[in-house]
Structure 1
Amino acid sequence: MITTIAKRLVTVVPTLIGVVIVTFLLTRVLPGDPAVYFAGPAATPDSIAEVRKSLGLDRPLPEQFGRYISDLAHGNLGNSLSTGQPVVAEIRSRLPASAELTLFGLILSLVIAVPLGILAAIKQGSWIDHTCRVVATAGVSLPVFFTGLLLVYVFYFRLGWSPAPIGRLDAFASAPPTITGFYVIDSLVTGDFETFRAAFGQLLLPGATLAIFSLAPIARMTRASMLAVLASDFVRTARASGLANSTVILTYAFRNAMLPVITTLGMVFSFLLGANVLVEKVFAWPGIGSYAVEALIASDFAPVQGFVLAMAILYVALNLVIDILYGLIDPRVRLEG
């Protein structure tokens, strides 16, 4: 297993190098001139040139790239021109909010999609199977921002069951002491149940939006994988041996059906990190997605580059976790590695 992980880490290096190069070049060819933006609408050509010089944008592209790589080697992602703060500090402060939202949505979708997919495979053609198909179709058909706006309209505006979509906490609650950065967990650890209720209430609608978005692929893959395994010879042998139906389904069938589900889970998590950008804007969630969008609008290069690099590292870490899970579930993967 250690050898397999080491091989995966070696293959990661070219990927990260490519991400750094492509991100740097893309931010330079995007429409908009940060010097013009920060000089102001009444700026003269001389003042714009002065701002461009102070930002280092008047230097040749290879020299700018060399400075960028040098800063990366020292753990410096630059400073945001919009806020004046180091990008590393901004990402560090906003990443827990995005991670909490993404993980909550993923866990909520798993709790619903996996049992639904198993039941749909066991009772093929029943109303549960049809429900699974309807949920899967609706999940992939509705844009994530539309789902978020619809939930806000129904549960906040019409029914009044949900708090206002104004971020991680309402105006009357204060943030708990930072332990993990996840408000729900930190408030539970410190015993602040009032803050926990406020944080969980704010998290429910955006988390449900992401869960609806990710329900479809997980439920469909669980159903398809379970159908293939239930038709296998070893499952028929287990049934013929007189084993309990629950033992056959959970111990034998589901364990062998987990590998495709885990693969889908990794892809879904990657999609959720991208969908976070829209969900955070709809619910005023202070995560790195909304931070990157605001920086992109302002032609602020450093936060955009830091955001893309952080997402690339998360994707790499996610793929490594999936490889480890493969080895734990199926010993043949360890032997092949």
Structure 2
Amino acid sequence: MSTTVAAASRTGSRPAARLWRPLLGLIRFAAVVATTFLGLLAVTFFIGRVIPVDPVLAVLGDRAPASAMERVREEMGLNLPLWQQFVLYVRQAFSGDFGTSVLTTNAVMDDIRRVFPATIELATLGTLIGTGLGVPLGVLAAVKRGSLTDQIVRVIGLVGYSVPIFWLALLSLLIFYARLGWVAYPGRIGVAFEYSFTSTTGLYLLDALWQGEWEVAWDVFRHIILPASLLGYFSLAYISRMTRSFMLNELGQEYIVAARAKGLSEARIIWCHALRNAAVPLVTVIALSYANLLEGSVLTETVFSWPGLGLYITNSLQNADMNAVLGGTLVIGATFIGINLLSDLLYRLLDPRTHAR
């Protein structure tokens, strides 16, 4: 009798366990997101307090009377204890309020909404270039391991890691713009179309193609192709190296030997079996590469006068506009966290082995 009751209780607890496990995973995931974002808020807040720049002086200037400076300091909450300032900063950040930019006199969040699509467009095209070239090159290097082809691919990746991007950007402008005239001058769109073309999404190339403005699309393409290719090259260096590593690991597995024993063609083994299994961790690599381009395009945007978030942060930093600097840094950090978590979710969905953990 007791055995039957125990068996029944175990049977009844299984549905509850199946429901509790996803809920526990969701709670754990939410806790990780909240903790990571809170840590990002803490870092940006204390960086803003450590930097020897007085935000009151940045707003009023050094010739303002002491009474006005004291009044602005109270309005900004800088007279409060540090922990109260942090609580106020967190509250404002969660509401999307990063203050007002001294440089543009606009709300920082409005400026970010205006410039961030340019960075997204540049980083997206760069990631497409890096992935479209990096994955085949990595596969080719792994298949021809130790050959001259493998050495060339590895040197290409090494140069991509070693050469400073600002130097390569200046050199490419000198060659492809000043000497050959293959690309347009720095900027995002030509002067002839700057005021006549209306973008709805902030993604100029996509909007121009969608609206059928072929002349505008060609002009935008001539502006974006060089900086996107440079970012794509640095993305290619990382993606090709990781693809080579993943493919070498897969080509040494027993199922590859079994596939060759069955008489399958080498192309099918490489592209349909080995690359398919290597694509699972490769999704995470590509996602992180995309996040790195969003985060690290500051120098590229500065050299090419690309009106994105990187150039916005650089100009704000040069003018001691700390609200804009911290707001832009926080948005980039939150984007990086979001893409990182999304790649982790995709990895769990694509790899069946993670469901059993």
Same fold (TM over 0.5): yes
Whole-Å separation in 2 of the counterparts to 1:243 and 1:187: 46
Counterpart residue number, 1:291: 312
Give yes or no for contact 1:163–1:201 (8 Å, CA) kept in 2. yes
Whole-Å separation in 1 of the counterparts to 2:74 and 2:348: 53
Counterpart residue number, 1:201: 222
Q: Which amino acid aligns with 1:218?
A: I
Where do residues 291-330 of structure 1 align in structure 2 (5 Å cutoff)? Answer: 291-330=312-351
Whole-Å separation in 1 of the counterparts to 2:249 and 2:151: 18
Whole-Å separation in 2 of the counterparts to 1:189 and 1:234: 46
Deviates more, 1:150-159 or 1:125-134: 125-134
Whole-Å separation in 2 of the counterparts to 1:10 and 1:178: 38
Give yes or no for contact 1:255–1:329 (8 Å, CA) kept in 2. no
Where does structure 1 lack aligned partners over 5 or more consecutive residues? Answer: none
Pick aligned residue for 1:160 from 168, 181, 187: 181
Where do residues 140-219 of structure 1 align in structure 2 (5 Å cutoff)? Answer: 140-165=161-186, 167-174=187-194, 176-219=197-240
How big is each residue's C-alpha offset from its partner over 1:167-225, in whole Å with a ceiling of 9 and x where there is no partner? Answer: 21011123744343211111111111111111111111110111121221211111121
Q: SS of the counterpart of 1:274? A: helix
Counterpart residue number, 2:279: 258
Whole-Å separation in 1 of the counterparts to 2:40 and 2:236: 29
> Looking at CA atoms only, which structure, 1 or 2, has the larger radius of gyration?
2
User: How many Å apart are 1:48 and its aligned residue?
Assistant: 4.9
Whole-Å separation in 2 of the counterparts to 1:87 and 1:64: 19
User: How many Å apart are 1:248 and its aligned residue?
Assistant: 0.8
Whole-Å separation in 2 of the counterparts to 1:42 and 1:177: 42
Whole-Å separation in 2 of the counterparts to 1:39 and 1:317: 37
Whole-Å separation in 2 of the counterparts to 1:168 and 1:263: 30
Where do residues 10-29 of structure 1 align in structure 2 (5 Å cutoff)? Answer: 10-29=31-50
Whole-Å separation in 2 of the counterparts to 1:235 and 1:62: 59
CA gap of 1:209–1:5, structure 2 versus 1, over 3 A, is farther
Q: SS of the counterpart of 1:172? A: helix
CA gap of 1:333–1:177, structure 2 versus 1, over 3 A, is farther
How big is each residue's C-alpha offset from its partner over 1:251-284, in whole Å with a ceiling of 9 and x where there is no partner? Answer: 1101111233233323322322232111111111
User: How many Å apart are 1:232 and its aligned residue?
Assistant: 1.2
Deviates more, 1:175-184 or 1:190-199: 175-184
Counterpart residue number, 2:152: 131
Whole-Å separation in 2 of the counterparts to 1:16 and 1:264: 22
Give yes or no for contact 2:58–2:102 (8 Å, CA) kept in 1. no
Whole-Å separation in 2 of the counterparts to 1:68 and 1:309: 12
Whole-Å separation in 2 of the counterparts to 1:261 and 1:154: 34
User: What TM-score results when the alignment is normalised by the length of structure 1?
Assistant: 0.91
Equivalenced residues, count: 335
Q: Which amino acid aligns with 2:189?
A: L
Q: Which amino acid aligns with 1:169?
A: I
Whole-Å separation in 1 of the counterparts to 2:290 and 2:257: 34
Where does structure 2 lack aligned partners over 5 or more consecutive residues? Answer: 1-20
Whole-Å separation in 2 of the counterparts to 1:2 and 1:318: 21
Whole-Å separation in 1 of the counterparts to 2:160 and 2:206: 28
CA gap of 1:160–1:276, structure 2 versus 1, over 3 A, is same
User: How many Å apart are 1:53 and its aligned residue?
Assistant: 4.7
Where do residues 21-170 of structure 1 align in structure 2 (5 Å cutoff)? Answer: 21-40=42-61, 42=63, 48-49=69-70, 52-53=73-74, 55-165=76-186, 167-170=187-190
Give yes or no for contact 1:5–1:324 (8 Å, CA) kept in 2. no
User: What TM-score results when the alignment is normalised by the length of structure 2?
Assistant: 0.86
Give yes or no for contact 2:78–2:85 (8 Å, CA) kept in 1. yes
Q: Which amino acid aligns with 1:141?
A: S
Whole-Å separation in 2 of the counterparts to 1:35 and 1:125: 61
Q: Which amino acid aligns with 1:110?
A: T
Q: Does structure 1 residue 246 correspond to structure 2 residue 264? A: no
Aligned-residue CA RMSD (Å): 2.3
How big is each residue's C-alpha offset from its partner over 1:68-112, in whole Å with a ceiling of 9 and x where there is no partner? Answer: 233234332221122111111111111110111111111101111
Deviates more, 1:97-106 or 1:118-127: 118-127
